Amino acid sequence: MQIESPNILLIVVAAVVMVLYVFTNSAVLVWVERKVSAHIQRRPGPFEVGPFGLLQTAIDGLKLMAKQLIIPGKADKRLFMLAPVLSFVPPIAALLTVPFGKVVQVQNLDIGILFILSLAALNVLAILIAGWASANKYSLFGAVRSVAQNIAYEIPLLLSLLTAVLWMGTLNLGELVDAQGGFWFVFTPFGFVAFLIYFVTGMAETNRAPFDLPEAESELTAGFHTEYSGMGFGLFFLGEYTNMILVSAIATSLFLGGYNLPFVTLNGEGVLWELIRVLIFLAKAYFLIFVMIWMRWTFPRVRFDQLLNLCWKVLIPFSLVNLAAAAIWIKAVGG
């Protein structure tokens, strides 16, 4: 295997930028979430630290770092420390193949979407390890619920993304965006249904309200991260917000035409055009995140049986039928 050194350097720089982006993204999103939730509930939200409370998250991060790392005496120490790292690393690595622009992409992989999904699936493992290693019944029940929820919602998630893969005939994220051009997949009836299913399951996969059963603070204290303090908790938090951007980025690339405007394909060369494309991509992704935050603070939490029934009895049959209908349509009309 021969690799030229400038190439490696470029990749390392891109990777550093990606990690820094993830940290900044989480910090900003926490602030956005607190501000949005505050205004939904007619409160001002954070405003003391910095202009509009913008530095609040930075201060909170510092505070988390200066806290004592408490490992419960009964916990399995190695697994207990492994879990937060395992929940934080895979979503960052998955962002690697997301096409923010035509060029702004760390590495275009032919198995793109499959690669992302395989990494996203590791989140369940992190939660299970955290819940098991804590040796606390709240943690364990939170983890068990979370696994039941995440594996159930993974099926409609995979099936809805599969509809997009079937329509465009590739797993490569860059090609998926190009195949849509200006005519976004969401404009087709199959794409629309698949997008709705994907968005609901995406929210469930990131364990956010109204699907935040694993954390359900009114019954399980804090669910799987009850025993975590300091940066152990901080890494779970970073992981959750990274997962949010990942879910939105996949939705943007597969359903919302990536960096293209509706009915307009942006093929211009040069830095300025690339910047415009990246901004369009980020605007779409962050709009989806805003919708996720909006829903979290507007809807009450669902009950556990409702949660699983919604998935097994509604989403799975609908996504299967949608997939079969799309397949028949492609054969009958020619896609």
Partner 1 sequence: MVENFVPVLILFLLAAAFGLGTVAISSLLGPKRPTKVKQETYECGMVVDPPAYRPFHVKYYLIAMAFVVFDVEVVFLYPWAVKFKQLGLFGLVEMLVFIFILLVGYAYIWKKGVLEWE
Which of these, 80, 140, 150, 146, lies nearest to 120 by C-alpha position?
Answer: 150
Amino acid at 200: V
264 binds partner 1 (CB under 8 A): no
302 binds partner 1 (CB under 8 A): no
Contacts of 137 (CB under 8 A, 6+ apart): none
In this complex, which beta carbon is closest to partner 1, that of residue 203 or of residue 222? 222
What DSSP line would sit under 233-250, residue for residue?
HHHHHHHHHHHHHHHHHH
Distance of CA 322 to the CA centre of its chain: 23
Is residue 301 within 8 A of residue 216, CB to CB? The reply is yes
CB atoms within 10 A of CB 253: 28
| Residue among 106, 193, 249, 282 that touches partner 1 (CB under 8 A) | 106
Instruction: Write each residue from 308 to 327 as x if it is in contact with partner 1 (CB under 8 A), else as -, in one continuous string.
Output: xx--xx--xx--x--xx--x
Considering only residues 113 to 142 of the shown chain, the ones binding partner 1 according to CB under 8 A are: 114-115, 134-141
261 binds partner 1 (CB under 8 A): no
* Cα–Cα dist 268/271, whole Å: 9
Q: How far is the CB of 278 from partner 1 (least distance, A)?
A: 19
* Cα–Cα dist 23/174, whole Å: 25
| Residues comprising the chain, all counted | 335
For 7, 10, 11, 294, the CA distances from 4, given in Å and listed in that order, are 6, 10, 11, 47
In this complex, which beta carbon is closest to partner 1, that of residue 135 or of residue 278? 135
195 binds partner 1 (CB under 8 A): no
331 binds partner 1 (CB under 8 A): yes
| Residue among 126, 171, 194, 220 that touches partner 1 (CB under 8 A) | 171
| Residue among 43, 78, 169, 264 that touches partner 1 (CB under 8 A) | 169
Instruction: Write each residue from 57 to 76 as x if it is in contact with partner 1 (CB under 8 A), else as -, in one continuous string.
Output: -------xxxxxxxxxxx--
| Residue among 152, 247, 256, 280 that touches partner 1 (CB under 8 A) | 152
